Amino acid sequence: MMNDTRFSGYADPSLHAHGLWIGGRWLGGAGIPVTDPATGQTIAEVPDAGFAEATMAVDAAAAAAEGWRSTPPRQRSEILRRWFELMREHAEELALLISLENGKALADARGEVAYAAEFFRWYSEEASRVAGEFRTTPSGTHRILVDHEPIGIALLITPWNFPAAMATRKIGPALAAGCTVILKPASETPLTAYAMARLGAEAGVPDGVVNVLTTARPGPFTAAILADPRVRKLSFTGSTGVGRTLLAEAAKTVVSCSMELGGNAPFLVFDDADLEATLDAAMIAKMRNAGEACTAANRFYVQSGIHDAFVEGLTARMRAMKVGPGYEAATECGPMITVQAVDKIDRLVSEAVTQGAKATTGGTRPGNDGYYYPPTVLRDVPLGMSIGREEIFGPVAAVYRFETEAEAIALANNTEYGLAAYVFSRDLVRAMRVGKGIDTGMIGINRGLMSDPAAPFGGTKQSGLGREGGVTGILEFMEPKYYAVEF
Ligand code: NAP
């Protein structure tokens, strides 16, 4: 149990329980420290699951599988709906927990809890709406009937940057589809996942339907689970590098994979854009979660006529941001997740500045406690730098100048990633044309935020495989079965 005084005002201390959650029971243990990124202090320790616990989790998910897949969709739906309501009832407490272990500002954490809960509401609605197919073959010989069945036990692996939402975006559709799951949250942010498991049990999720395990050895742990023939699905959100490794691992037993991987979003501003509205959207696209988002605007390409005004406006907004511990009310930009994350941002910025980029605000690593990096704007960034190729994952906006539409599209596409892009222009026909030319799974048109449970979230190229959310998200956890019917 976490004995942090910041939680003393809350009614339900059991929300801070943390052991392995297997088959509806807590299994104690230790081995993985959880750190407050604002101070570098350890705030809790969670268990380190090994092979024995991995097998126990698969056994628990298998024991619950038949009961759950044969539970009427309406009943599964009502359990998800109750889980949604419990998340809303405990929203403040969950937000504080997220802020403590992840570092993000409370406003961002509250936004995440609301967004995360919506996946349970959306999939409570979708659970009873899975449509099949019925048609006559072109030859007229027989009828085609297509049913969708739950795919089987699913292993869900999530990152630290959205500890609640990345979990609900997988658990919601999996449970709606009739699958039982094993969730492995990121080692940096396990407390939110365990709190969610507790609320799930209260909502009526049967024992073994959702199991949550932390491990300090994710590679061997995952390999052991994927080697079990009862496990038929891997849904992963995280970096492209780990995604590649997991695809290779899943190939050994031909496990179905959904992959939500890294991004390197371009943010295109044309001369005719509404400057103030574009700057507001740029702040959301860049600074939500202090830049630690897969959809975060990484590369700002700004047309010559509006370039200087854009840099000036963005600089003023970034400079005004209040940096501090996420859980302090005034904070707008919290610390980064780890000291390694700060090292990486510092390396990217230093290399760009050495090669001629100019920091109009920020650009220097502070010497205080905690894992901070200041909101930073870089202008005149040379092309070909690491800062344009790698995910920055921090509060740094790199701005480049362009002249023509064709040049902007070519620059936007010059990356192995294809997750998200943003286009700003008052000419909607042009914005849509540019959007069509950019190879990403998602495009924000005059909008800095695209995430929505009702929309298909995902990427092209090396940003992933499959989609989460929307009406198709549930099918990632289902297998079509075709009946050839003679009549
Ligand atoms: P990460 O290092 O890839 O880790 C993600 C998860 O994978 C964690 O739970 C991690 O466990 C686990 N993991 C690491 N190595 C593994 C292995 N060999 N086998 C099995 N699991 C392994 O990513 P991250 O740093 O947590 O998250 C940031 C990345 O996620 C960024 O690239 C970001 O763009 C991406 N992301 C993508 C989306 C999307 O929807 N496309 C959304 C959010 C984030 P440990 O924590 O124990 O290492």
| Per-residue pLDDT tens over the stretch 470-479 | 999 999 999 9
- Residues 95 and 237 placed together within one structural domain of the fold: yes
**Ligand 1 pocket: which of 242, 247, 344 to mutate (most atoms <8 Å of CB)?**
242
In a domain? residue 178: yes
| Per-residue pLDDT tens over the stretch 78-130 | 999 999 999 999 999 999 999 999 999 999 999 999 999 999 999 999 999 99
Please say if the pLDDT value at position 9 is more than 80: no
**For position 367, what pLDDT does the model report?**
83
In a domain? residue 2: no
- Residues 241 and 156 placed together within one structural domain of the fold: yes
| Per-residue pLDDT tens over the stretch 144-154 | 999 999 999 99
**For position 318, what pLDDT does the model report?**
98
Domain residue limits at 219: 9-261+464-485
Say which residues have a Cβ less than 8 Å from residue 169's Cβ, sequence separation at least 6. 116, 119, 237, 453, 457, 468, 469, 473
Measure the CA–CA gap between 274 and 388, rounded to whole angstroms: 25
- Residues 161 and 274 placed together within one structural domain of the fold: no
In a domain? residue 46: yes
Write down the catalytic residue from 101, 112, 260, 332. Answer: 260
Domain count for the chain? 2
Measure the CA–CA gap between 387 and 315, rounded to whole angstroms: 18
- Residues 256 and 271 placed together within one structural domain of the fold: no
Say which residues have a Cβ less than 8 Å from residue 58's Cβ, sequence separation at least 6. 153, 182, 225, 228, 230, 231
Q: Point out which residues pair with 31 in neighbouring strands.
A: 47
Question: Is any ligand 1 atom within 6 A of the Cβ of residue 165?
Answer: no
User: Separation of 237 CA from ligand 1 center, angstroms?
Assistant: 6
**For position 4, what pLDDT does the model report?**
61
- Residues 163 and 53 placed together within one structural domain of the fold: yes
Give the CATH number for residue 480: 3.40.605.10
- Residue 270 pLDDT level (bands cut at 50, 70, 90): very high
Give the CATH number for residue 423: 3.40.309.10
- Residues 274 and 323 placed together within one structural domain of the fold: yes
By C-alpha distance, which of 165, 159, 174, 36 is closest to 91?
165
CB of 126 within 8 A of CB of 470? no
Question: Is any ligand 1 atom within 6 A of the Cβ of residue 222?
Answer: yes
Cβ neighbours of 132 (radius 10 Å): 12
**Ligand 1 pocket: which of 157, 189, 393 to mutate (most atoms <8 Å of CB)?**
157
- Residues 286 and 346 placed together within one structural domain of the fold: yes
User: Separation of 240 CA from ligand 1 center, angstroms?
Assistant: 8
- Residues 254 and 292 placed together within one structural domain of the fold: no
CB of 60 within 8 A of CB of 208? yes
> How deeply is 41 buried, as exposed, middle or buried, from its count of CB atoms within 10 A (0-12, 13-18, 19+)?
exposed
In a domain? residue 196: yes
Q: Is residue 351 annotated as a catalytic residue, yes or no?
A: no
**For position 454, what pLDDT does the model report?**
98
Mean pLDDT of the chain: 96
- Residues 391 and 368 placed together within one structural domain of the fold: yes
Which residue's CA is minimally distant from atom 40 of ligand 1?
260
**For position 2, what pLDDT does the model report?**
55
In a domain? residue 1: no
- Residues 411 and 394 placed together within one structural domain of the fold: yes
Question: Is any ligand 1 atom within 6 A of the Cβ of residue 160?
Answer: yes
Measure the CA–CA gap between 254 and 356, rounded to whole angstroms: 48
- Residues 283 and 249 placed together within one structural domain of the fold: no
Question: Is any ligand 1 atom within 6 A of the Cβ of residue 245?
Answer: yes
Which residue's CA is minimally distant from atom 6 of ligand 1?
159
Which residue's CA is minimally distant from atom 21 of ligand 1?
218
Which residue's CA is minimally distant from atom 30 of ligand 1?
238
Mean of pLDDT values over 19-32: 96
- Residues 190 and 105 placed together within one structural domain of the fold: yes
Q: Is 10 helix (H, G, I), strand (E, B) or coil?
A: coil
Question: Is any ligand 1 atom within 6 A of the Cβ of residue 425?
Answer: no
Model-level pTM? 0.97
Report residue 107 as tokens. 């406003």
Percentage of the chain exceeding pLDDT 70: 97
Question: Is any ligand 1 atom within 6 A of the Cβ of residue 262?
Answer: yes
Strand ranges inside 285-346, DSSP E:
297-303
Which residue's CA is minimally distant from atom 9 of ligand 1?
186
Question: Is any ligand 1 atom within 6 A of the Cβ of residue 221?
Answer: no
Ligand 1 atom index nearest CA of 216:
47
**For position 18, what pLDDT does the model report?**
76
Please say if the pLDDT value at position 385 is more than 70: yes
Mean of pLDDT values over 57-84: 98
**Ligand 1 pocket: which of 102, 112, 161, 231 to mutate (most atoms <8 Å of CB)?**
161
- Residue 12 pLDDT level (bands cut at 50, 70, 90): low
CB of 332 within 8 A of CB of 323? yes
